[in-house]
Amino acid sequence: VKHHAVMPVPIPLATENASPLEWSEPQIRELVEQATTLMVDAQKNLDTALPTEPEPPWQELVRPPQECATSAGPLLELFARAANSSYDHRAPGFLGYVPSSGLATSAIAKMIASTFNCFTGVPDHAPALVRMEHALMRWVCELFGLPPTAIGTMTSGTSMATLIVVVTARQHRLGDHFAQGTAYVTAHTHQCVAKALRIAGLPPGAVRTVSTDDEGRMDPDAAVKLITADRRAGKQPFLLAATAGTTNTGSIDPLPELAALADTEQLWLHVDAAYGGGFQLTQRGRTRMNGIERADSIALDPSKSWFLPFGTGVLLVRDAATLHHTFAERHDYMTDLDKYAEVPSYTDLGPELSREYRALQLWLPFHLHGIAAFRDTLNTMLDLAQHAHHRLTAIPHLRTGPPPQLSIITFRLRDGTDQDNRDLLRRINRTGQAYLSGSVIDNRYTLRLVLLNHRLHRDHLDQTLNTIAATCGPPRAP
């Protein structure tokens, strides 16, 4: 709480001495109103994931900023045309990659948080906000069954969370001499793990690929053999990177077995739950991700399975002290800070000092909609995935992958080359009804359907499944 000896003199918005950057209240209000119209309109017309603006005005988009002011209307319109020339991840027909459906209430939270622009890198200047964030992150830790020593921090996404984990695990397990360090992944592990290892200075040979079972899950016995052979060769195994919901198929590594292995081998167990983690709100998700509570760290991505816009990742670490030992740094200009020992100093838990207050993007929607709304939507995704798998399996031309562990369904042509499957993907995407993506799974090009959008309903999905059924027959003669 701020105490002023004398009441400060109120400062009106924009007097005649004002900088041209200081806008008057009517100016700000008008821009907010224009932005509101733009943002509300942007929630409509999501019937295709394909670009709706075929010819954005390239010359105007790349024109350098001018000396003189330009009015807001044409600028916002220009932005909207550029945005509308993009693939729309918010559309219920966007079923490719791992979508981010961009919950509007979270986008609005972002605008509000940056309007207040409070400094939350350390607690001193915004203790209430840091306390809110810490309480929310502790709630997420408890959701995942982590102990009271655990802490959470918000990141820009899972690639950044993974980088923080890799540096922490490296520091904690290997200290400053890590040239012989090795980390264990599978062919289905997301590329962000290898990338983080490279950024963290580990040599290329540090990434060790363990084989998987028929459903793409890490084989713990194969991991033990590889780790044992590596130790004999003088390597220092330090990190076991499991995945709860792989990008390719949504499969979940055998977490209890991998946790036991990490214990025996003294490895840091990281679980990449970027896609799967959100499903922890559901009973089915919790059952399938059983064992995740034994992880040393978990990355989850609210911009994926909690439907938020891009830019909101969460990293949970079992022992807060490990993050602190890795990242805490105080130079002279910071020594008067840190008076709130009972809440974290987020700058000590990762690379950022100045940071966005991302917590509002999670806090506001969780409170506004209630947790049950998220759980119901995730359960709908799980149900729709079963339905889609069932319907695709009944199409004679297609061979589907195993029943979905979460909400990703894979399929390919029963008879067809990789090129035929690529052509099928192109034909489906050209319809505008749905946008899918493919991947190479078990050396064969495979199409994926990822159901992860709060705007996706059974009728959209059925239309998409009809489109796939109609498109996957032999191509018609031109």
Per CB under 6 A, residues contacting ligand PLP are 98, 157-159, 190, 192, 243, 247, 272, 274-275, 301, 313
Q: What six digits make up the tokens of 330?
A: 């105080």
- As a whole number of angstroms, the distance between CA 205 and CA 122 comes to 38
- CA-based radius of gyration for the chain: 25
Closest distance of CB 427 from ligand PLP, Å:
25
Alpha helices by DSSP H, 200-319: 220-232, 255-265, 283-288, 302-305
* CA distance between the termini of the chain: 73
Type of residue found at 127: P
- Nearer Cβ to ligand PLP (192/381): 192
Please state whether beta strands 297-300 and 268-273 pair in parallel, antiparallel, or not at all (unpaired). Answer: parallel
Residue number with CB closer to ligand PLP (282 or 345): 282
Judged by beta carbon, residue 129 or residue 137, the one nearer ligand PLP is 137
Sheet strands (E) in 158-223:
181-186, 207-210
Nearer to ligand PLP, 275 or 363 (CB): 275
The packing angle between helices 418-430 and 458-471, to 10°, is 130
| CB of 48 or CB of 159, closer to ligand PLP | 159
CB of 248 to ligand PLP, least distance (A): 9
The distance of closest approach from Cβ of residue 100 to ligand PLP in the complex, given in angstroms and rounded to an integer, is: 9
d(CA 28, CA 12): 13
For residue 115, the one-letter residue type is T
> Is the CB of 166 or the CB of 472 nearer to ligand PLP?
166
Q: Which residue is nearest to ligand PLP (CB)?
A: 157
Whose Cβ is closer to ligand PLP: residue 137's or residue 252's? Answer: 252
For residue 436, the SS3 value is: coil
Kindly list the strands in the beta sheet with 444-450, ordered across the sheet, starting from the edge strand earlier in the chain.
Answer: 398-400, 408-413, 444-450, 437-441
Closest alpha carbon to 317 in 182, 460, 137, 186: 137
Q: Among residues 305 and 322, whose Cβ is nearest to ligand PLP?
A: 305
Residue 92 or residue 157: which is nearer to ligand PLP going by CB?
A: 157
CB of 279 to ligand PLP, least distance (A): 13
Q: Closest distance between ligand PLP and the C-beta of residue 382, in Å?
A: 17
Closest distance between ligand PLP and the C-beta of residue 162, in Å?
A: 7
Q: Compute the least distance from the CB of residue 27 to ligand PLP, in Å.
A: 36
Q: How far is the CB of 158 from ligand PLP (least distance, A)?
A: 3
Query: How far apart are the C-alpha atoms of 49 and 96, rounded to whole Å?
Result: 10
Residue 296 or 301: the one with the smaller Cβ distance to ligand PLP is 301
- Give 247 or 280: the residue with its C-beta nearer to ligand PLP: 247
Residue partners of 418: CB distance under 8 A and separation at least 6: 440, 444, 445
Q: Which of 148, 106, 176, 89 has the alpha carbon at shortest distance from 319?
A: 148
Q: Measured from the CB of residue 191, what is the shortest distance to ligand PLP in angstroms?
A: 8
Cross-strand pairs, 226: none
The answer for residues whose C-beta is within 8 angstroms of residue 421's C-beta and 6 or more apart is 412, 413, 438, 444, 445, 446, 447
Output the smallest distance, CB 401 to ligand PLP, in A: 17
In sequence order, what are the residues at sequence separation of 6 or more whose Cβ sits closer than 8 angstroms to the Cβ of residue 280?
A: 143, 144, 273, 286, 289, 292, 300
For residue 223, the minimal CB distance to ligand PLP (Å) is 19
- Using DSSP, state whether 319 is helix, strand or coil: coil
Closest CA to 103 of 443, 425, 373: 373
